[in-house]
Amino acid sequence: MKLDFTRWLPAIAKDSYRKTALSVVGVAAIGGLALGPTAVAAPVTAGPHEGAIAAIDLATGKPGAERHDDQAKSGLTTGSGHGNPFSAKPSRDKLVPYGVQGAQSRIPLDDAQLSNAKAIIEAAKKTGVGERGAVIGVATSLQESKLYNLGHLGAYNDHDSQGLFQQRPSSGWGTPDQITDPDYSATAFFNALKNVDGWQGLPLTQAAQTVQVSAYPFAYAQWEDQAADIVQQLW
């Protein structure tokens, strides 16, 4: 069934200044992301709509989807190479102290996603959760929104989930304007993470799940390796 993702254009993605950030093509490609496997501090929800799955495949460059030239040029887009060995960046031991769990997923990243990853990392520094916290935050956003700052998708939304972490205003995360502000949403996530007893010693997916209360508690684990590469290169 062919779906018209362009009807979601008005509020699908916002930049740091809460303005529409993606081109018509890019927005049409990721139209269904917010209906993905998320349930932030909320009851269990259903799985992704079939249109959302197709949109994610196109937006994230899975087999059959075309990648932009600028994506192919950056090591960050694929997360390959485990960082730049010549830069003074956090060590893998700090970023992934317990090793990754299960099969790992990777996606190409565009400028909007890289900007959002940087915002998450800066919030990790500000809140004091450090490199490991940043990896948990980036991996969580990769799962929840593929690092896109999603606005409300109307009838296709997962309840009222929005933003990088698909946080819900009705669950007390903040107003729609607040949770679609990358700094605010990341700071809120990390402040909640700090309230998880012993989060530093938990597997990534368990730490993320304790904050997110997702219907898919093990889904975060698949992004740990790429999240570590992103944090290592952007720290």
* DSSP result, 100-136: --S--------HHHHHHHHHHHHHHHHHT-HHHHHHH
Cα–Cα distance measured from residue 142 to residue 61, given in angstroms and rounded to the nearest whole number: 14
- pLDDT at residue 31 greater than cutoff 60: no
The model's pLDDT over 93-106, given as tens digits with 9 standing for 90+, comes to 999 999 999 999 99
Task: Kindly report the backbone phi and psi dihedral angles of residue 14, in degrees, each rounded to the nearest multiple of 5, phi listed first.
Answer: -130, 150
Structural domains of the chain, count: 1
**Residue ranges of the alpha helices (H) in the chain?**
24-29, 50-59, 69-73, 75-78, 92-95, 111-127, 130-145, 176-179, 182-194, 204-212, 224-234
Is the predicted pLDDT of residue 73 greater than 70, yes or no?
A: no
Specify the pLDDT at position 152: 81
Domain carrying residue 201: 5-234
Q: Are 178 and 172 in contact (CB under 8 A)?
A: no
Q: What is the mean pLDDT of the chain?
A: 74
The Cα–Cα gap between 205 and 143 comes to 11
Q: Provide CB contacts within 8 A for 217, sequence distance 6+.
A: 205, 206, 209
**154-189 burial, b for 16+ CB within 10 Å, e for fewer?**
eebbbbbbbbbbbbbbebebbebebbbbbebbbbbb
Decide if pLDDT at 203 tops 90.
yes
Output the pLDDT for position 155. Answer: 67
- State the pTM of this model: 0.70
pLDDT of 62 higher than 90: no
Rounded-to-integer distance, Cα 62 and Cα 15, Å: 24
Range in 17-21, 30-34, 223-227 with the lowest mean pLDDT: 30-34
Q: Is the pLDDT of residue 234 over 50?
A: yes
Which range has the worst mean pLDDT, 47-56, 155-164, 219-228? 47-56
Q: What's the Cα-to-Cα distance from 96 to each of 11, 16, 109, 233, rounded to whole Å?
A: 35, 28, 21, 14
What is the DSSP-derived secondary structure letter of residue 210? H
Q: DSSP string of 69-95?
A: HHHHH-HHHHTGGGS-TTS----HHHH
Predicted local distance difference test score (pLDDT) of residue 76 = 59
Query: pLDDT tens, 106-116?
Result: 999 999 999 99
Give the range among 42-51, 158-167, 197-206 with minimum mean pLDDT: 42-51
